[in-house]
């Protein structure tokens, strides 16, 4: 019987349980995937605590993304995303879900599948699309970053922050990476960051002014929120775009006079919702990311790989900011 991580009561990761459940039957057009790895994302933690915008009915299984092998297909299961072909047994795929990935198996529609890039292993595939898809949507669709612009990335040691460093540099920006440890900054530098700021040793506002000769940055990528957001408003250039990715550090408050004075734009970023509302936008993003991955230009940094039964420990790595990049649960 497949194993699944089950949320029966809202709360911390330690309230979750690993259970065995009967195998789900396939309906016509569905696909069964043997999950080899699942990615840990901060929204998973918020969801099981009841603090995320999506609130599934209890009980549910957390997990937004996974990678594995197609082991069963029923009927005509055509249209693998970014591939437009029939799904066949043996395909190595990435699985996109709103929840349900912390499990040995997933039963999904073909539209939820993406061919696993040949350059990736399962853990990399399972930690790719959520973070890199968010970074792409933020920088390309919302921020419309241009070559030569200056990009400030907060939380640059996290999964989405490192993805923003990598994609921002690839798109021709000068990247300032800000993070909480030297180890995280070292990885950001390896992925292309031009300038490094350690929060504990220097005010990032002062660092940005020093690096830019007082001009400020053109784009702020902020998955942290809290005071970070308000202070970012004080080190931006005219016409800057502030990209609100998340609020791992709390809800930030905007001083609207600072937005006005700099002619700035504050832009919310919801990559998944944007693709649900505009599938064509999502397809362009997906094809670009897969092409860059196949060309070896982008790759998740997976700092920890833990067995499925250590799900709470894996989630704690994100909560306690101990991960550098991504954390993956391994099923075998």
Spell out where the chain has E strands: 3-6, 17-20, 31-39, 65-73, 92-96, 105-108, 113-115, 150-153, 174-179, 195-198, 217-222, 236-244, 265-268, 302-307, 326-330
pLDDT of residue 332: 73
pLDDT of residue 83: 55
Residue 86: partners with Cβ closer than 8 Å, 6 or more residues away? 76, 77, 78, 80
Among the listed residues 119, 27, 112, 21, the one whose alpha carbon sits nearest the alpha carbon of residue 63: 112
pLDDT of residue 79: 57
99 three-state secondary structure:
coil
Task: Please report, in tens digits, the pLDDT of each residue of the chain (332 residues total).
Answer: 999 999 999 999 999 999 999 999 999 889 999 999 999 999 999 999 998 889 999 999 999 999 999 999 987 666 555 455 688 999 999 999 999 999 999 999 999 999 999 999 999 999 999 999 999 999 999 999 999 999 999 999 999 999 999 999 999 999 999 999 999 999 999 999 999 999 999 999 999 999 999 999 999 999 998 899 999 999 999 999 999 998 877 787 878 898 999 999 999 999 999 999 999 999 999 999 999 999 999 999 999 999 999 999 999 999 999 999 999 999 97
> Which domains does the chain show, CATH number per domain?
3-128+301-330 (3.90.180.10), 130-273 (3.90.180.10)
Say if residue 56 is exposed, middle or buried (CB neighbours under 10 Å; 0-12, 13-18, 19+).
middle
Angle 288-99-245 from CA coordinates, rounded to 5°: 55
Measured between alpha carbons, how far is 186 from 194 in angstroms, rounded to an integer?
Answer: 11
pLDDT of residue 249: 75
Contact yes or no for 177/275 (Cβ under 8 A):
no
**Residue 80 CA to its chain's centroid (Å):** 21
Q: What is the torsional sign of CA 31, 275, 170, 157? A: negative
pLDDT of residue 256: 87
Would the pTM count as exceeding 0.75? yes
Count the alpha carbons within 13 Å of 21 in the hemisphere toward its beta carbon.
19
Query: What are the tokens at 4?
Result: 């699944």
| Beta strands at 92-96 and 65-73: parallel, antiparallel or unpaired | antiparallel
Contact yes or no for 95/251 (Cβ under 8 A):
no
**Residue that is written with structure tokens 């990476």 in the block:** 177
Measured between alpha carbons, how far is 228 from 49 in angstroms, rounded to an integer?
Answer: 24
pLDDT of residue 246: 87
Contact yes or no for 207/197 (Cβ under 8 A):
yes
């Amino acid at each position: 019987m497949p194993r699944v991580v089950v949320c029966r009561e809202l709360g911390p990761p330690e309230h979750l349980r690993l259970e065995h459940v009967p195998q789900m039957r396939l309906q016509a057009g569905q696909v069964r995937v043997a999950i080899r790895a699942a990615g840990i994302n901060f929204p998973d933690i918020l969801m099981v605590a009841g603090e995320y915008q999506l609130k599934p009915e209890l009980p549910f299984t957390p997990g937004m993304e996974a990678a594995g092998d197609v082991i069963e297909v029923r009927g005509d299961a055509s249209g693998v995303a970014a591939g437009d072909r029939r799904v066949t047994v043996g395909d190595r795929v990435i699985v996109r879900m709103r929840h349900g990935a912390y499990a040995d198996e997933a039963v999904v529609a073909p539209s939820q599948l993406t061919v696993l890039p040949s350059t990736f292993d399962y853990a990399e595939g399972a930690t790719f699309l959520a973070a890199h898809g968010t970074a792409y949507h933020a920088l390309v669709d919302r921020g419309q970053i241009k070559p030569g612009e200056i990009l400030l990335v907060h939380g640059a040691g996290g999964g989405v922050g490192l993805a923003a460093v990598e994609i921002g540099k690839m798109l021709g920006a000068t990247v300032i990476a800000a993070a909480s440890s030297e180890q995280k900054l070292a990885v950001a530098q390896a992925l292309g960051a031009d300038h490094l700021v350690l929060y504990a040793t220097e005010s990032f506002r002062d660092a940005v002014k020093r690096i830019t000769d007082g001009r400020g940055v053109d784009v702020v990528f902020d998955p942290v929120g809290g005071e970070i957001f308000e202070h970012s408003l004080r080190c931006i250039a005219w016409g800057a775009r502030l990209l609100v990715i998340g609020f791992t550090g709390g809800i930030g408050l905007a001083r609207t006079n600072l937005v006005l004075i700099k002619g700035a734009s504050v832009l919310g970023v919801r990559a998944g919702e944007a693709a649900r509302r505009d599938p064509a936008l999502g397809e362009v993003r997906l094809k670009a990311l897969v092409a860059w991955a196949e060309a070896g230009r982008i790759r998740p940094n997976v700092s920890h790989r833990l067995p499925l039964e250590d799900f709470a420990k894996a989630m704690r790595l994100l909560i306690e900011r101990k991960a550098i990049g991504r954390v993956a649960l391994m099923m075998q």
